[in-house]
Homo-oligomer: A and B are copies of this chain.
Amino acid sequence: MQFFETTLSNGLRVIAESNPLAHSTAVCFYVETGARDETPEVSGVSHFLEHMVFKGTPKRTADDVNREFDEFGAYYNAATSDESTYYYAFILPEHLERTIELWSDILRPSLRDEDFETEKQVILEEIRMYADQPPFGADDYCKALFFRDHPLAGSVLGTESTIKQLTAEQMRDYFQHHYTPARTTLAVTGKVDFDELVTLANRYCADWTPGTLPSREATFQTATKFETLAQPSSHQQYLLQMSLAPGGQDSRRYAADIITNIMGNDSGSRLFWDLIDTGSAETVQMWLGEFLDCGTYNLYLSCSPEMLEENLSMIQRHLAQVDREGVSEEELELAKNRICSRMVLSSERPRGRIFSLVENWTLRSEYRTLRDELESYRQVSITEIADVLQAFPLSHPTTVTIGPLEKVEVA
């Protein structure tokens, strides 16, 4: 494995973790813009724009785009999150040039009015589908409640109302200010010759107009609230919790990740043994959210409505207990093994390294090998866990529950 990086004259960063033994190549165009970069009136524009990127360019129709990816058998997709929008393909190494040429073309989309109106219906259907499925939008609701006025309060999908009112002109304006080369990183892992990659990046992306990297700073004060939303048609009861955790640039994030694993890994965790293994709940999980300026502990529970209050008390007892008493050496060791085994197993292919590579580079301006990451987990001590729990306790989350219950009594 070898790491390479350069920046083109228009500001586009190009990075690669090259592995001559790999049989495939993963390619990602990562744009540092997402829901947090939207004003409330254009909420959802980043995700909608991600769809529009596949709708054609001056050189290509939407059908051409589809056909060309298909011709070389690539696995390709795109996704939008709170802080980024990324486009990726997993390919055979010999298709690198075609892939770079194709992505670089479609990342300068036409954004035609008629395509915009057609795709708007698809987005609205996606929003309705999302509202139809558990937890029926309660996750967005919880996030908004927790983050209050902070930009992270916004929804990635947007709402029916913002999407309906959005104009193609607003999207073109958003595109122009946010899809600049200075906000974009081309990342590649697997079998790749970096000199060739830079040549291709220059050939196909050098004409992208430079732009600035707007500040994403924001101040916030998170909330601790409890709300019950009624969804009479639901059979199960769902519950979400969020509280503040170390952020993506905070080295304490490894300890925080271990804490959520000990508490709420999908098997073998404290909540697993007391809620799932006993049959009290169908699902319970905890995980860490990482953002530019903060992190979140997240919890998700689904169970039958009559079990909710009992399960919630159990969860509260567990969260208070770990805040007070920390974790044991044995639990710490087990969680490290779980996390490290999974990281090694999932890093085996180039596609398993690409997102870690690009996120370390964009969020933290550093290259970290798989070994570095494993080492950071291995070094976390019982004392550090206790310190993190003191600075970022688990036991005062914002909670939202949704389902057939109209009222929930909190112990």
A-to-B contact residues, CB < 8 Å: 21-24, 63, 66-67, 69-75, 90-92, 267-268, 277, 334, 337-342, 344-345, 347-349
Contacts and interface: CB of A to CB of B under 8 A. Distances in A.
Nearest to A118: B279
Given A71-B337, A92-B345, A348-B349, A267 B66 contact: yes
Given A21-B21, A71-B268, 5 more contacts: A24-B348, A72-B337, A91-B341, A91-B345, A348-B349
B70 A344 contact: no
B268 A66 contact: yes
Given A21-B21, A268-B66, A341 B72 contact: yes
Nearest to A67: B268
A121 to B, nearest CB: 10
Contacts of A67: 268
B338 A92 contact: no
Nearest to A279: B118
Given A73-B338, A348-B349, A63 B277 contact: yes
Contact of A74 (B66, B339, B341): B341
Contact of A23 (B69, B91, B344): B344
Nearest to A23: B348
A394 to B, nearest CB: 22
A311 to B, nearest CB: 19
A73 B69 CA distance: 36
A115 to B, nearest CB: 14
Contacts of A347: 23
Nearest to A266: B70
Contact of A337 (B21, B73, B90): B73
A344 B24 contact: yes
A24 B71 contact: no
Contacts of A21: 21
Nearest to A349: B348
Contacts of A70: 267-268, 334, 338
In the complex, which of the residues A67, A337, A348 has the most CB atoms of chain B within 10 Å of its own CB atom? A348
Nearest to A21: B21
Contacts of A90: 345
Contacts of A337: 71-73
A163 B347 CA distance: 41
A345 B63 CA distance: 24
A341 B277 contact: no
